[in-house]
Amino acid sequence: MTQGAKRALAHYHRIVIKIGSALLVDRGNGLKRDWLTRLCDDIAALKEKGVEVLVVSSGAVALGRTVLHTHPGALKLEEAQAAAAVGQIGLAGAWTEALKAHGILAGQILLTLQNTEERRQYLNARATIRQLLKAGAVPIVNENDTIATSEIRYGDNDRLAARVATMIGADLLILLSDIDGLYSAPPHLDPNAKFLAEIPVITPEIEAMAGGAASELSRGGMHTKIEAGKIATTAGCAMIIASGKIDHPLRAVEDGARHSMFHASHMPVNARKTWIAGQLLPAGTIHIDDGAVAALKRGNSLLPAGVSAVDGHFSRGDTVAIVNRFGGEIARGLSGYDSDEARSIAGQKTGGIEAILGYPARAAMVHRDDLVMTLHETAGNKDGTHA
Ligand code: GLU
């Protein structure tokens, strides 16, 4: 175990812990119950100190395929869904048993992408999870793999965990993984890869370090972990990537096992903007000119005059990505116009809009109350290009 900074986890109020499939499930032997038992010792110790804990547990598909003895290759969607149906029961049962040993109740929450993208369902899920936390239970969350179809699913629990963390206002997200943190390059391929212990802000350079590597049993690689980091830190939630390949992995982080810490933004956005920024599938893209980029950075609304092009089909109120002239995303927001209207008034001064639309213009293409900046740039990267 390489030594790093000690981390007082009990200083956080609400922690989401995401467990990768490969940590919980062994291809040959199924569920790793001893490891889970020790992890639950750590969770109980945190709860004892007053920390609220929520778990996002992967492993349904991996466990289901060991039980069903499915072929070792990549699974078709329906095979993976059947495996998840079998595995999820075992997984939930194992968590229930392991937490019960500490007198802690588990509550199962299965979410789909739709549940977190649609505002009313999102608020509903949040209320249920809050209720469970209030009752002292540990919510055990997974994607509802049995019904999620390929186009509308997370597919990886890294981003799901970040979305859940921001949904419930957690102040720390811990991704337990088969790697102990972020490296400047994949360490198994590049002997000169440098370990990054502290990441104050996720810059385009940091994003570029995350290759696509995923192991056989899990879906997410470093790429989805960095995406998770962006969702979490923007909302004021710090994120740790740490190795789960040891017993008592949370205690190990407290004792200084090496890990990467992504700092929470100092200017977290409010709850509604958190929901906007964390949307995984913006319905369209609005391209804007340099003047509008500068205006947005000053905290202004996006006016039609600064819009150079509009892509996609969306309705008023849908989330759109706002990109600069290099195509780099700088913000997200709720569109004030349908896509057809938006296209017809792109580049127009406010005064000329009524003549085009046939009704008086609304103030903004995207109002500043519905807009959140998503690009965190460094001094050398002012235009948001990905060098
Ligand atoms: N939801 C998937 C499962 O339980 C795991 C997704 C992931 O590996 O991130 O099998």
Instruction: Indicate whether 267 pLDDT > 60.
Output: yes
Ligand 1: centre distance to CA 223 (Å): 15
Whether 240 and 260 have beta carbons less than 8 Å apart is answered as yes
Please report the pLDDT score of residue 13 as a whole number. Answer: 94
Q: Please list, residue by residue across 112-129, b when 16 or more beta carbons sit within 10 angstroms of its beta carbon and e when fewer do.
A: bbebbbeeeebeebbeeb
Please report the pLDDT score of residue 363 as a whole number. Answer: 66
State the Cα–Cα distance between residues 71 and 22, nearest whole angstrom. 17
Please report the pLDDT score of residue 8 as a whole number. Answer: 94
Please report the pLDDT score of residue 212 as a whole number. Answer: 46
Instruction: List, for residues 290-307, the tens digit of each pLDDT value.
Output: 999 999 999 899 999 999
Percentage, residues of the chain above pLDDT 90: 64
Confidence of residue 377 (pLDDT cuts 50, 70, 90): low
Please report the pLDDT score of residue 215 as a whole number. Answer: 42
Instruction: Indicate whether 242 pLDDT > 70.
Output: yes
Instruction: Indicate whether 218 pLDDT > 60.
Output: no
Please report the pLDDT score of residue 217 as a whole number. Answer: 39
Average pLDDT along the chain:
89
State the Cα–Cα distance between residues 152 and 136, nearest whole angstrom. 32
Query: Ligand 1, from 17, 31, 58, 216: best to mutate by most atoms within 8 Å of Cβ?
Result: 58
Instruction: Indicate whether 244 pLDDT > 90.
Output: yes
User: Which is more confidently placed, 110 or 278?
Assistant: 110
CA atoms within 13 A on the CB side of 116: 33
Which ligand 1 atom lies nearest to the CA of residue 91? Answer: 4
Ligand 1: centre distance to CA 112 (Å): 12
State the Cα–Cα distance between residues 351 and 360, nearest whole angstrom. 9
Instruction: Indicate whether 213 pLDDT > 50.
Output: no
Instruction: List, for residues 10-64, the tens digit of each pLDDT value.
Output: 999 999 999 999 999 998 889 999 999 999 999 999 999 999 999 999 999 999 9
State the Cα–Cα distance between residues 176 and 58, nearest whole angstrom. 11
Instruction: Indicate whether 208 pLDDT > 70.
Output: yes
Query: Ligand 1, from 19, 21, 23, 75: best to mutate by most atoms within 8 Å of Cβ?
Result: 21
State the Cα–Cα distance between residues 215 and 352, nearest whole angstrom. 55
Instruction: Indicate whether 216 pLDDT > 70.
Output: no
Ligand 1: centre distance to CA 174 (Å): 16
Which ligand 1 atom lies nearest to the CA of residue 83? Answer: 10
Ligand 1: centre distance to CA 177 (Å): 12
* pTM (2 d.p.): 0.80
Instruction: List, for residues 113-146, the tens digit of each pLDDT value.
Output: 888 888 888 888 999 999 999 999 999 999 999 8
Ligand 1: centre distance to CA 179 (Å): 17
* Tokens at 114, concatenated: 């739709």
**Ligand 1 — pocket residues by CB below 6 A?**
21, 58-62, 84, 142-143, 145, 156-157, 218-220
Please report the pLDDT score of residue 370 as a whole number. Answer: 87
Whether 57 and 95 have beta carbons less than 8 Å apart is answered as yes
Please report the pLDDT score of residue 172 as a whole number. Answer: 97
Give first-to-last CA distance, the chain, whole Å: 34
As a whole number, mean pLDDT of residues 367-379 equals: 75
Confidence of residue 85 (pLDDT cuts 50, 70, 90): very high
Instruction: List, for residues 319-353, the tens digit of each pLDDT value.
Output: 999 999 999 999 999 999 999 999 999 998 877 88
Which H or E run includes 320?
strand 319-323
Which ligand 1 atom lies nearest to the CA of residue 143? Answer: 1
Please report the pLDDT score of residue 20 as a whole number. Answer: 93
